[in-house]
């Protein structure tokens, strides 16, 4: 008989010792993006490394690992400061990834809420137009978290054109 116990979902700061795990998960994330952005692998079969050094050098950047029942399931990269306006005191979800086997099971929604709870204050979430699934996910996640008090803005600034602003 299958267990009916809800999975334990945790989003916790990534230590320097866990950096290789984040690097490896980033390869899966970039692979997902390659469907939309035409990224190619190098001759060694890997995508170019994502620049993560700043997450251990800048106090305003926060790498977080997502685990489900203790197993790696994804990550969130959060930074302080608006990528849209440069304003301070705003949190930005730079990158967010949930492994495919954990998608559509509430894991992403729980992880997003955990990030919002960890970093209280104004948030900006951006998605690229071509990533309709991400736009739908973030609208659902923010609507659920804020009970419908989401502010969505149109137009293109920075890396994405769909933008949402809200406070946690």
Residue-wise pLDDT for 21-76, tens only, equals 999 999 999 999 888 778 888 899 898 999 999 999 999 999 999 999 999 999 99
Higher pLDDT, 99 or 155: 99
Higher pLDDT, 3 or 9: 9
Q: How far is CA 154 from the centre of its chain?
A: 21
Instruction: Decide yes or no: CATH 3.40.630.30 for domain 9-119.
Output: yes
Please report, for the chain, the start and end positions of each structural domain, with discontinuous segments joined by +: 9-119
Residues 65 and 75: beta-carbon distance below 8 Å: yes
Please indicate, yes or no, whether the overall pTM of this predicted structure exceeds 0.95: no
Distance, in Å, from the CA atom of 143 to the CA atom of 154, rounded to the nearest integer, reads 17
In the predicted model, what is the mean pLDDT of the chain?
88
Residue 154 confidence (pLDDT): 46
Give mean pLDDT, residues 101-113.
Answer: 95
Q: Indicate whether 122 pLDDT > 80.
A: yes
Higher pLDDT, 1 or 148: 148
Neighbours of 74 (CB within 10 A): 23
Distance, in Å, from the CA atom of 103 to the CA atom of 97, rounded to the nearest integer, reads 10
């Amino acid at each position: 008989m299958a267990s009916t116990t809800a999975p334990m979902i945790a989003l916790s700061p990534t230590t320097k010792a866990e950096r290789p795990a984040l690097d490896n998960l980033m390869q899966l994330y970039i692979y997902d993006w390659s469907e939309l952005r035409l990224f190619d692998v190098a001759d060694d079969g890997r995508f170019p490394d994502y620049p993560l050094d700043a997450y251990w050098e800048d106090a305003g950047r926060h790498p977080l690992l997502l685990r489900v029942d203790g197993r790696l399931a994804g990550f969130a990269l959060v930074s302080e400061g608006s990528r849209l306006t440069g304003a301070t005191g705003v949190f930005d979800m730079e990158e967010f990834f949930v492994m495919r086997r954990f998608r559509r099971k509430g894991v992403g929604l729980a992880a997003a809420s955990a990030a919002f709870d960890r970093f209280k204050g104004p948030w900006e979430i951006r998605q690229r137009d071509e990533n309709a699934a991400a736009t739908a996910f973030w609208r659902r996640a923010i609507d659920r978290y804020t009970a419908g008090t989401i502010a969505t803005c149109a137009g293109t600034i920075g890396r994405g054109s769909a933008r949402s602003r809200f406070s946690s």
